[in-house]
Amino acid sequence: MRYLDKTAIENISIGAAFLGTGGGGDPYIGKLMAISAIEQNGPVRLYSVDEIADEDFFIPTAMMGAPSVSSEKFPNGSEFVKVFQKLSRYLGKDNIAGTYPMEAGGVNSMIPIVVAAQLGLPLVDCDGMGRAFPELQMVTFNLDGVPATPMAITDEKGNIGIFETIDNKWTERLARAVTVEMGASALVSLYPTTGAQMKTSGVHGIVTLSEQIGEIIASKNRDAKDKLEELLQLVSGYELFQGKIVDVIRETKGGFNLGRMNLEGIEGHKGGNMDVHFQNENLVAEKDGRVVAMTPDLICLVDFETLSPITTESLKYGKRVRVIGLPAHEKWRTAKGIETAGPKYFGYDYEYVPLEKLVNKAVTDHV
């Protein structure tokens, strides 16, 4: 067990924006909520997965909806506890042992810190994605057959709903429709999980990893190259490209922010070209017409100099970036994982090949 203070929250929010792979919303508002919550209630306890009991129950809380809405109409602050307690009462359990982030990337890394601070509960160092994904069934617990419901959903006005669905894709479908009605931003508590389930089906150590990523990125007066090397070593990642954004094509479809950006090589990649396709998150990267990384592996865009993560909503013509590829958690690389969040699910006609293989293949071809 250790305590998360303001500095830890700052760093986690940076790491979460990195693991958000362009989506998951800018954790800025979430960070302010978390800081304001610990200023009122004191620091939050963080437990590792080994420190929790198998038979205890844990409930995550998350924000659902459009990041640009939550940057304008953010919560009252009482919804987190309300939706958490609604679900715990519905489950008939008044002794929930703690909370954890459903999604490590983006704004949802911060909401459980608020809940933990307000309820005095511990936070568990574990999530259900190891990154950010846009849909509720794209969760490692789902891959292992853990139901998303019963689920509670609420808005800042006080409306509350409970869902029990026939499967987790229906949870996504119904929750999304309600979220739009609630003003395109809602709070959900779902995937009630036992300690044992977290041990077998969660992505462990993710809060700490986010914090370490944030620490490296935030460290001052250091050469970008040294920082990058340390970062890549920490996450077993690869620098896929150094480029300048020369074109961004966007459209909104079915409630998602879709698009493609084109990068022109700079520095060590002069003369090269990269296309990155995104649907909220960055999903496929093609270098000189050939795929070099694809979902569920992570494709992270960072500022060329500072390594600050860049969200797809803030992509800017002319911005100089580094494209970093990270292998996804092993659960995503199973057949069920690829079926749930692989390239075909998002409409890209590629067979999934792990990042390491694609990178090594490119190197061999080159030689």
Partner 1 sequence: MYRIGIDVGGTNTDAIILDERHQLIHAVKSPTSLDIKTGIESSLRQLLQEAKIDKAQITHAMLGTTQCTNAIVERKKLAKVGVIRLGYPATASVPPYTAWPKDMVDILSGSYSLVQGGYEYDGQLLGEVDEEEIKALLDKWRNHVESIAVIGVFSSIKNDQELLVRDLIQEEYGEAFPVSCSSLIGSVGLIERENATILNAALCKVIAATTSGFIHALEEEGIKSAQVYLCQNDGTLMSIDYAKQFPILTIACGPTNSIRGASYLAQIKDTMVLDVGGTTSDIGVLQDGFPRESSVAVEVGDIRTNFRMPDIISVGLGGGSIVRVSDSGAITVGPDSVGYRIGEEALVFGGNTLTTTDIAVRLGLAEVGDKSLVSHLEEDFALAVQAQIAAIIEQAIDKMKTSSEDIQLVLVGGGSIIIPDQIRGVARMIKTENGNVANAIGASIAQISGQYEQIYIYSREPRESSLKDAEEKAVKQAVLAGAVSETIELVEVEETPLAYHPENATRLRVKVVGKMK
Binding residues for partner 1 (CB under 8 A): 28-29, 32-33, 35-37, 65-69, 71-78, 114, 156-158, 179-180, 183-184, 244, 246, 250-252, 254-257, 264, 266, 270, 280, 313-314, 316-318, 320
**What is the smallest separation between the CB atom of 183 and partner 1, expressed in angstroms?**
4
**What is the smallest separation between the CB atom of 36 and partner 1, expressed in angstroms?**
5
Burial class (CB in 10 A: 0-12, 13-18, 19+), 90: middle
Residues paired with residue 309 on neighbouring β-strands, in sequence order: 302
Q: Which is nearer to partner 1, 247 or 330 (CB)?
A: 247
Q: Which is nearer to partner 1, 16 or 359 (CB)?
A: 16
**What is the smallest separation between the CB atom of 196 and partner 1, expressed in angstroms?**
33
**What is the smallest separation between the CB atom of 264 and partner 1, expressed in angstroms?**
6
Burial class (CB in 10 A: 0-12, 13-18, 19+), 11: buried
Q: Which is nearer to partner 1, 69 or 160 (CB)?
A: 69
CB distance 288 to 266 below 8 Å: no
Euclidean distance between the first and the last CA atom of the chain, given in angstroms as a whole number:
49
Q: Which is nearer to partner 1, 99 or 193 (CB)?
A: 99
3-state DSSP: the chain helix, strand, coil percent, rounded to 5? Answer: 40, 25, 35
Q: Which is nearer to partner 1, 64 or 235 (CB)?
A: 64
Secondary structure class of 242 (helix, strand, coil): strand
Distance CA 299, CA 355 (A): 10
Q: Which is nearer to partner 1, 92 or 318 (CB)?
A: 318
**What is the smallest separation between the CB atom of 160 and partner 1, expressed in angstroms?**
14
Q: Is the peptide bond before 327 cis (omega within 30 degrees of 0)?
A: no
Taking each continuous run of H as one helix and of E as one strand, the counts in the chain are 12, 18
Q: Which is nearer to partner 1, 28 or 350 (CB)?
A: 28
Distance CA 11, CA 17 (A): 10
**What is the smallest separation between the CB atom of 320 and partner 1, expressed in angstroms?**
6
**What is the smallest separation between the CB atom of 68 and partner 1, expressed in angstroms?**
5
Identify the H or E element spanning 341. Answer: helix 335-341
